[in-house]
Structure 1
Amino acid sequence: MRPASGFKRIGKFIWLSLFGRWIFLLLIPWFVPTISYLLIGEPYLESFSNFIWGTLMVLLMTTLAFIPHDWAVQYIADLYPSIHLSAKRAGFTVLAFCLLTGVYISVYVMFIIRFRPLNAELSTDGVIKVYLFEFFAILLLTCLYEVNYSLKKWKEIKMNKEAIKKAGLQGQLQSLKSQVNPHFLFNSLNTLSALITDEPQRAERFVDEMAKVYRYLLQTNEHELTDLATEINFIRSYYHLLRTRYDTGLVLHINVDDVALESFIPPLTLQLLVENAVKHNTILEKNPLTIEITSLESNLLEVKNNVIVKSTHVRSTQLGLANINAKYQILSARQPVISAGPDYFVVLLPLLTEKPVNQ
């Protein structure tokens, strides 16, 4: 068995984080002999046997004390995971370390004074030195843990930005493919041509809304999130194009409160869901396809449409829904919930209340 493999197994057995195992390994050569000398005094160096037994005794004490310290670090990191909370995380780490170290060192000092193993000579000055040395170790450990955590979070953010960019490009490409294809352009130009002849004012409005749609599609990939108000305005323009084509066969209801409008979602999320509804359902004036966008409690947005099965099966690639899920997996711990029933197709989207600082 290789040393590294054995080291990992020992770390897992005593339940230390990976970084905690390396920190513990780095502590042994200098921390254990130093604190052994401070606790035992001159007898620690009087004989080789005293040195070995004293080192093993303090190593056991150090191990028992280090494990809960590492647990405390992991617990505090879970409570304050943001990279922008470094000061608060470090402060609570120092506090937790001081409390734990104070308890353990007090117990060990009382043990040394009471039983005097290896003829230990621990004076009052020695006790003070032990506590001062431990405080120095606390500050050092806190710095090492915080630097490691911040570097790891920075790498995660960098990787997430790349993943977001890739997902955004895929979403933008899919949106452009679904809009800028000969079939869509043919229908749009036919609609525009008819409007120019019969209703020039509507034709002008149609061109304005189309320009808004394309401008949003081309610019939206610059950001990981967009506020819901902006996305809703885009959907109104997108719906205008669809409504002009399908007339009363397509209906959109938007019922979103002002608080929800200030929240954030990945851009083009609503467009992908509206497009998905239009693609997979029959649109008839006597039985319109109705899409409802409604804000709910618990920072949720419901996108719901009635199901009107097409006579000819449309193959679903699931790319739109997969794209939405991929973005939410990177941006939030909360994920969309999809409910596909015989009468309605419902998607619950978490609304994000904080926009990344780097936007």
Structure 2
Amino acid sequence: MIRIQDSRLRWFGPICLFLFGNIFFRLSFWLTSPPRALAHSALVGLGAGMLFWQLNRWVARRIQHRFPGLERTQQRLLMVLLLAPLLVNLAIFSRYTLHILLGSRPTLWMGLVDYVTSFGIQLFYFVVYFSIYEGIYVLQQWRQTYLEKEVLIKQQWQTRFNSLKSQVNPHFLFNSLNSLSALIDESPVQASQFVDELSTMYRYLIQANDQELTQLSTELTFIESYAHLLQTRHGAGVRVSITVPDTYLSYSLPPLTLQLLVENAVKHNIVLADQPLVIDISTTDEGHLQVRNNLQRKTGQVASNGVGLTNIVAKYQMLTGTSIIVREEDNHFTVLLPLLSNPVTQSV
């Protein structure tokens, strides 16, 4: 559709501009001149009009290619201003040369008055050329930006929905309550501690869903509670080690990122006392948060809703424009998360 409209514009635009210019700028010439002079004027006007429409269209496209996007509109306009004298004079002298070749102009110089008049007319045409193509380009860029914004908003709501689904996990809650039921008879003290950790965890889950970023210190506190629940359920089968320098604790990341990674590690790997799953949370020299676990995959298919890493990738892309790094090597699964220096007001 855009190509068809552009093709029509390239054909009908010069004709409309020719008619407009002659009606409003040269009407007296058309009412008083002999047929031969009118024929020459029409031939030169339409021929040069077609030629310079194509030339200025090409120049406009090249400038847009060199300085793309809405944010570089000022640079494109500056380039147009710099090229205006050259292109306008080229149009003037090209038309005058055609008139000389047709024999409708007897001298090699048009005179100052004719030059100024021609300059004003060709400058007007030049403004029309670039106004049309720059206007079309800006409108297309605005539409693209608007559509991208709409897509990001939809992704944001979808990500929040997926995050909520991963938080309110009936299966996890069912297992936690079973563990609690067993602890009540075996160890009332441990059961009480279990309830406190479970309460802390679900309080964080509910409140974190309304935040875009959370401090690493808060996320690590939550993971400690989460790890306590896992260790209560799996005993020595799960080991969670956290080694993060204090200098990184004020950094931020999307909430529940670590919970999703730890949950995925437990879901997809064997968890036994004589074959423990070891999850290490640390930082790298490059300033990434590293979540690493040994690989001991379960045999058979593991039920998964596909939220995990997809959710984390979507959050980082949506909120920060950065990407996470996922590696699988040396019998270990590693995820590197960029840490952000944005200050976060904590409400949890």
| TM-score, normalised by the number of residues in structure 2 | 0.71
Inter-CA distance 47–168: structure 2 relative to 1 (3 Å threshold): same
1:90 partner amino acid: T
Aligned: 1:220 with 2:212: no
Q: Distance in 2 between matches of 1:225 and 1:77?
A: 32
Give the aligned partner of residue 17 of structure 1: none
Which residue, 237, 244, 257 being the options, matches 2:225? Answer: 237
Deviation at 1:344, TM superposition (A): 0.3
Instruction: State the identity %.
Output: 25
The answer as to whether partners of 1:283 and 1:289 remain within 8 angstroms in 2 is yes
Give the aligned partner of residue 182 of structure 2: 190
Query: How big is each residue's C-alpha offset from its partner over 1:249-289, in whole Å with a ceiling of 9 and x where there is no partner?
Result: 31222436746853543x33322111011112233445542
Inter-CA distance 176–134: structure 2 relative to 1 (3 Å threshold): same
Q: Distance in 2 between matches of 1:298 and 1:27?
A: 57
Aligned: 1:7 with 2:9: no
Aligned: 1:67 with 2:58: yes
Deviation at 1:31, TM superposition (A): 4.6
How is 1:26-105 mapped onto 2 (pairs within 5 angstroms)? 28=14, 30-31=16-17, 47=38, 50-51=41-42, 54-78=45-69, 88-105=71-88
Q: Distance in 1 between matches of 2:129 and 2:204?
A: 55
Aligned: 1:278 with 2:266: yes
Inter-CA distance 174–163: structure 2 relative to 1 (3 Å threshold): same
Inter-CA distance 274–63: structure 2 relative to 1 (3 Å threshold): same
Inter-CA distance 316–340: structure 2 relative to 1 (3 Å threshold): farther
Deviation at 1:7, TM superposition (A): 1.7
1:59 partner amino acid: M
Q: Distance in 1 between matches of 2:61 and 2:136?
A: 12
Give the aligned partner of residue 174 of structure 1: 166
Aligned: 1:124 with 2:126: no
The answer as to whether partners of 1:277 and 1:305 remain within 8 angstroms in 2 is yes
Q: Structure 2: any 5+ residue segments left out of the alignment?
A: 32-36, 344-348
Inter-CA distance 95–340: structure 2 relative to 1 (3 Å threshold): same
Three-state SS of the structure 1 residue aligned to 2:147 is helix
Inter-CA distance 251–24: structure 2 relative to 1 (3 Å threshold): farther
Task: Output the aligned Cα RMSD.
Answer: 4.3
Three-state SS of the structure 2 residue aligned to 1:174 is helix
Aligned: 1:323 with 2:311: yes
Between Structure 1 and Structure 2, whose CA radius of gyration is higher? 2
How many residues align structurally?
A: 327
Aligned: 1:313 with 2:304: no
How is 1:237-316 mapped onto 2 (pairs within 5 angstroms)? 237-248=225-236, 249-255=238-244, 258=247, 261-265=250-254, 267-285=255-273, 288-296=276-284, 300-310=288-298, 312-315=299-302
Deviation at 1:94, TM superposition (A): 1.5
Deviation at 1:99, TM superposition (A): 3.1
Inter-CA distance 51–185: structure 2 relative to 1 (3 Å threshold): farther
Inter-CA distance 95–274: structure 2 relative to 1 (3 Å threshold): same
Q: Structure 1: any 5+ residue segments left out of the alignment?
A: 12-20, 79-85
Q: Distance in 1 between matches of 2:93 and 2:324?
A: 56
The answer as to whether partners of 1:294 and 1:301 remain within 8 angstroms in 2 is yes
Q: Distance in 1 between matches of 2:249 and 2:55?
A: 50
